[in-house]
Chains A and B, each alone.
Chain A
Amino acid sequence: MKAYFGRRYMLSASHRLHSEALSAEENRAAYGKCNNPHGHGHNYGLEVLVGGPVDPQIGMVVDLAALDEAVRARVIDRFDHMNLNLEPYFKNRIPTTENLCRAVYDLLKGALPAGQLESVRVEETENNFFECKAE
């Protein structure tokens, strides 16, 4: 029987939304306060949902310790308390939460057993969040 297991994590990072393709004025118009040259930060809430058959031996769909380890090694260690703009992943990408969400999804997809990752949600603040799932 297929069920899903979700786990929440948190990471804190800074970013600045700025596109090289836009003029200074266009950047300010597009990104507002988020274009502030010195950047700013968030406590990002991260929600990882994995799916699979419930193993009758343990009643679970995932090894929680293995999931925690994958998230820590691939995502938390990489982005927590970092400036996202300086991360190689964001060299040619703007570190919007949309792109951070996709980064987390791609990094975890490669680290978890095939087909296990269902979706990733990244909450930038209490009032806005983004989801990435297999399409």
Chain B
Amino acid sequence: MIFLTRRATFSASHYYWNPAWTAEKNEQVFGRCARRTGHGHNYTLEVTVAGEPDPVTGFVVDLKWLKDAIEREVLAAYDHRHLNLEVPEFAESKMIPTTENIAIAAWKRLEPAVTAAGGAKLSRVRVYETPEIFAEYRGEA
């Protein structure tokens, strides 16, 4: 099995807020991340697919196809957006746009496209919020 990873970057703003809590509790749990005016990051997305190289092309997946899929499914929705306000899976406090949840949401956006293409399977989505902080999702329940 070969694992192939494509990296992409996007910049977005967000804040952390649990609507079931008081403002005091949100500020206590999330600190500066709870500021409702939001803040932003340069995120790095790493998408890993796994499979066997095609006997004709030698590719696990066509990297250009994967690059386009990442741009179409994820970057078009996330890049230069306010995640809490403009991205459906996070809007109206449906889900807090933490790094963990962004990794899960990006997986859900990509998985149908990768599966439909046949061949390689989506193996891992890793999201770096800063060079020191990242989260990943491997499709586990």
A residues near B, CB below 8 A?
A: 1-9, 49, 54, 57-61, 64
Q: Report yes or no: B18 in contact with A1, Cβ–Cβ below 8 A.
A: no
Contact with A along B94-137 (1 / 0, CB 8 A): 01111111011000000000000000000000100001111111
The CA of A1 and the CA of B126, in the complex, are separated in Å by 15
Number of B residues whose C-beta is below 8 Å from A? 25
Number of A-B contacts (CB under 8 A): 60
Tell me, yes or no, whether B1 is within 8 Å of chain A by CB: no
Which B63-114 residues sit within 8 Å CB-CB of chain A? 95-101, 103-104
Query: Can you spell out 20 A-B residue pairs with CB atoms less than 8 angstroms apart?
Result: A1-B104, A2-B138, A2-B140, A3-B100, A3-B103, A3-B140, A4-B135, A5-B99, A5-B100, A5-B134, A6-B133, A6-B135, A9-B132, A49-B136, A54-B104, A58-B18, A59-B97, A59-B101, A60-B100, A64-B133
Query: Contacts A54-B100, A58-B29, A59-B101 known; A4 to B95 CB distance under 8 Å?
Result: no
Any A CB within 8 A of the CB of B43 = no
A61 contacts B100, C-beta separation under 8 Å: yes
Task: Check B141 for interface membership: any CB of A closer than 8 A.
Answer: yes
**Supplied contacts A54-B98, A58-B18, 14 more A-B pairs, CB within 8 Å:** A1-B140, A3-B103, A3-B137, A3-B140, A6-B126, A6-B136, A49-B136, A54-B100, A57-B18, A59-B16, A59-B97, A60-B100, A61-B100, A61-B135
Q: How far is the CB of A66 from chain B (nearest CB, A)?
A: 13
A8 near B101: Cβ-Cβ < 8 Å:
no
| Cβ A54 vs Cβ B101 within 8 A | yes
Cα separation A54 to B103 with both chains bound (whole Å): 11
Which residues of chain B have C-beta atoms less than 8 A from A59's C-beta?
Answer: 16, 95-98, 100-101
- Cβ contacts under 8 Å, A2 to chain B: 138, 140-141
| Residue pair A8, B132 in contact (C-beta under 8 Å) | yes
Whole-angstrom distance between the Cβ of A115 and the nearest chain B Cβ: 13
Shortest beta-carbon distance, A69 to chain B, in Å? 15
Residue of B nearest to A61 (CB): B100
Contact status A3-B136, CB under 8 Å: yes
Q: How far is the CA of A1 from the CA of B135 in the complex (A)?
A: 13
In the complex, what distance in Å separates the CA atom of A64 from the CA atom of B132?
A: 12
Give CA–CA (A2, B138) in the complex, Å. Answer: 8
Taking the closest CB of chain A, its distance from the CB of B87, in whole angstroms, is 14
Contacts of A54 in B (CB 8 A): 98, 100-101, 104
Distance (whole angstroms) from the CB of A119 to the closest CB of chain B: 11
Q: Is the CB of B141 within 8 A of A8?
A: no
